[in-house]
A and B are shown apart, each in its own frame.
Chain A
Amino acid sequence: MRRIFTNFEAWGVLVAAIIAIVVLPYLNAFTPATSILHVSDFSINLYGKYLCYAVLAISVDILWGYTGLLSLGQCLFFSLGGYMMGMYLMRMIGSLGQYQKPIPDFLVFLGWNSLPAFWKPFSSFPFALMMTLLLPGLLSLVFGFLAFRSRIRGVYFSILTQALTYAASILFLRNNLLLGGNNGFTDFKFMLGHDLRLPATQRVLYICTALLLLATYLLCKWLTTTRFGKIQRAIRDSENRVLFSGYSTANFKLFIFVLSGLIASLAGALYVPQVGIINPNEMATDKSIEVVVWVAVGGRGTLVGPVIGAIFVNALRSWATRAYPDLWLIILGFLFIFVVLFMPKGIVGLFAQVRDILKGKAKTSEPPPSSATPDLVTPPKPATSTMPPVKS
């Protein structure tokens, strides 16, 4: 049974990967716009965005679903990756900006005549890519080290990550940080010499995103099968036992937190050239919480679930914001409540749930209470009654 499922899963991933990486770009590039099979440039761009979100959702799942660390600030790393790539894209505008100066428009507006020193290396794409990994990597390393060393767990960890992204969004709103302030970066023109406004460029970016998603999925999937993956889940279920099994849980959590930050950052770096804008709004607290909703809707702790959840919720958003623009947040809220109440395993768990209901086994699918709450079945025996009186 288990084996069939893994085969089923492998085929599913293969088919999805071929459709996403080969079929959709092919239909976009080589079918006439009048054909019913044609995928429009707009759609390809939209799908690219969804897939970036899917990568972001996986980064939350390896933290929340597999390690029990609910990060409510994952969009910070996503945005930092975006900003690093954005700085490169800003340099590539050259003198084509509104002010026709060789430095970004907002710097001209702030009264700068030459480029600030820290901006200079970002003219190089490899440097920007390196920074995409280095900055979020360092931030997650330092933050994670401090948080896990101090044994900050559960909801306190969540609140801290939320506070971190909030603080960062306030920092990035400041004009004197010289990163575009409130408006951020936009109006990009070129990337590696290719015009970003051309459908072909966007198509390549879309394919890169799909490949990143596949690579991320395979890496994380493999990781869960290693001993590390088992320790990860053990930390989620009973961190104290892991500590008393000789593992420094802080190191394990730190590793997965940094890995997750790097994945989110890469997703952000691919997101920015496709949507054409990055600003501090991306770091706002509600964005990160929304990612958690995608993961919950898709099914946490499954890796496939978050991908499905991210695509489903964002497709729903695209539709709802056009059909019922005022109701979107309410729809999202109801969706979250519905999933938490009735679909604890998300869309991915739906199949098993329906099967259980059809078999009339809905109740037996829950673990028996004795195993779920071991401490309730072993009341401590009163000492006085078990010590037999020898003399009176």
Chain B
Amino acid sequence: MTRRPFILAAEGVNKEFDGFKAINNLNFYMDEGELRTVIGPNGAGKSTFLDLITGRTKPDNGSIKFFEESELTTLSEYQIYRLGIGRKFQTPTVFLDHTVYENIMLNVEGSRNVWNAIFTSTSKEQRDRIYEVLKIIGLESRAGGKAGNLAHGQKQWLEIGMLLAQNAKLLLVDEPAAGMTDEETHKTGELLLSLAGKHSIIVIEHDMVFVRQIATKVTVLHQGTVLCEGKVDEVQNNEKVIEVYLGRKKAHDK
């Protein structure tokens, strides 16, 4: 039996910022269709890890492979995007001055070159896809309004919708629940769960209630390296994880 390729495989990745080791010999593997949650204390290197995957920063060494064939560390942001990796930023990053419809439209699958942007308009299929995405994220009724007028939670959903429009194989979602109400958080969790399987998703999150809602497998990052991996309960009961979260002092007291 042949093994299915990992959708994402990071091996021996290092990244140093002015003497600070943000990522330290990181190894990370993920299967296709998986919904993986990455947690870790502040400064554990979670966002840096996403920066490395998406080409925003380049690692000092190591390799990050997509489907075990594309080496992401040598590609630029838009090339990585075109492979099918989409990213939602920590703070919602949508085009505030554009309408909700236009936000999705700019991300819908299709040509990205200058000439086509000038001389072709949105096709019927693309338009259908845009409305399909708007329906999934529940912003159909806001399609014609400016994205700047959306509530904070809605902006987060819009940004997730932008990733869906591109039909990304791998969604990188950085703190989707930040600044949301409990109800919005819950809805976001349901949205992500409904997308898992069709898409592979990495979620970075702090909110443990939210993590419990969505997580099947959790990776804990600490000081730029993987501390442990497993189910939510296993991870929460792990001695090393508790030590990291509650501080060293307590561990020494024992």
Contact check, B237 vs A252: say whether CB atoms are below 8 A apart: no
Interface centre among A223, A244, A367, A374 (most CB of B within 10 A): A244
Contacts known (A230-B106, A243-B77); A251 close to B114, Cβ less than 8 A:
yes
Contact status A244-B155, CB under 8 Å = no
Interface of A is mostly: helix
CB distance from A37 to the nearest CB of B (A): 43
- B218 CB, min distance to chain A CBs, angstroms: 12
Q: Which of B186-212 contact A (CB under 8 A)?
A: 206-208
Asked if A228 is at the interface (CB within 8 A of a chain B CB), the reply is: yes
Answer whether A390 and B91 are a contact pair too, CB < 8 Å, given A246-B78, A246-B112, A247-B112: no
**Does A381 lie within 8 Å of B91, measured CB to CB?**
no
**Least Cβ–Cβ distance between B171 and chain A, in angstroms:** 12
Chain B residues near A117: list those with CB within 8 A.
none
Q: Are B95 and A238 in contact (CB under 8 A)?
A: yes
- The contact of B91 among A227, A378, A384, by CB within 8 Å, is A378
Q: Is A377 part of the contact surface with B, judged by Cβ < 8 Å?
A: yes
Q: Tell whether, in the assembled complex, residue B98 and residue A245 are in contact, meaning their CB atoms are under 8 Å apart.
A: no
Tell me which residues from 95 to 112 in chain B have a Cβ below 8 Å from any Cβ of chain A: 95-98, 102, 105-107, 112
> Closest approach, in angstroms, between the C-beta of A286 and any C-beta of chain B?
32
Neighbouring A residues of B78 by C-beta, 8 Å:
243-244, 246-249
* A141 close to chain B: CB less than 8 A: no
> Which of B4-12, B25-33, B64-72, B117-125 forms part of the interface with chain A?
B117-125
Contacts of A378 in B (CB 8 A): 90-91, 152, 178-179
For residue B236, which residues in chain A have a CB less than 8 angstroms away from its CB?
387-388, 390
The 0/1 profile, CB within 8 Å of A marked 1, for residues 48-74 of chain B is: 000000100000000000000000000
* Contact of A391 with B242 in the complex, beta carbons under 8 Å: yes
The reply to whether B122 and A227 contact each other, CB–CB distance below 8 Å, is yes
The reply to whether B206 and A386 form a contact with Cβ atoms under 8 Å apart is yes
Mask of A353-392 contacts with B, CB within 8 angstroms, 1/0: 0000000000000010011101101101111101111110
Give which listed residue, A227, A374, A384, contacts B121 with CB less than 8 A. A227
Residues of B within 8 A of A240 (CB): 89, 93
Cβ–Cβ contact A390 & B242, under 8 A? yes
A382: nearest residue on chain B (CB-CB)?
Answer: B42
Shortest distance from the beta carbon of A329 to any chain B beta carbon, whole Å: 35
Nearest chain A CB to B103 CB, angstrom units: 9
CA distance A233 to B208 in the complex (A): 38
Check: A255 CB closer than 8 A to any chain B CB.
Answer: yes
A335 at the interface (CB under 8 A from B): no
Residue from A228, A245, A383 in contact with B245 in the complex, judged by beta carbons closer than 8 Å: A383
A227–B110 Cα distance when bound, in Å, is 12
Contact indicator B41/A384 (Cβ below 8 Å): yes
Decide yes or no whether A164 CB sits under 8 A from chain B: no
Kindly provide the distance from the CB of A344 to the nearest chain B CB, expressed in whole angstroms. Answer: 15
Contact status A245-B106, CB under 8 Å: yes
- A231-B106, A244-B54 known; A381-B98 Cβ under 8 A: no
Docked complex Cα distance between A388 and B179 (Å): 19
- State whether the Cβ of B2 lies closer than 8 Å to any Cβ in chain A: no
B166: chain A residues at CB < 8 Å are: 245-246
Once bound together, how far apart are the Cα atoms of A227 and B103, in whole Å?
11
Decide: B246 and A389 in contact? CB cutoff 8 A.
yes
With A226-B117, A380-B42 already in contact, 17 other A-B pairs whose C-beta atoms are closer than 8 Å: A226-B119, A227-B121, A231-B117, A233-B98, A234-B95, A234-B106, A238-B93, A241-B93, A243-B78, A243-B81, A244-B77, A244-B86, A251-B113, A371-B96, A387-B245, A389-B242, A390-B242
A sample of 26 inter-chain contacts (CB < 8 A) reads A227-B118, A228-B117, A228-B118, A238-B96, A240-B89, A241-B95, A243-B78, A244-B81, A244-B86, A244-B89, A245-B106, A247-B112, A251-B113, A252-B114, A255-B114, A367-B148, A371-B148, A371-B149, A371-B150, A380-B178, A381-B207, A383-B41, A383-B42, A383-B245, A384-B247, A389-B246
B residues near A, CB below 8 A? 39-42, 54, 76-78, 81-82, 86-87, 89-98, 102, 105-107, 112-114, 116-122, 148-150, 152, 155, 162, 166, 175, 178-179, 206-208, 236-237, 242, 245-247
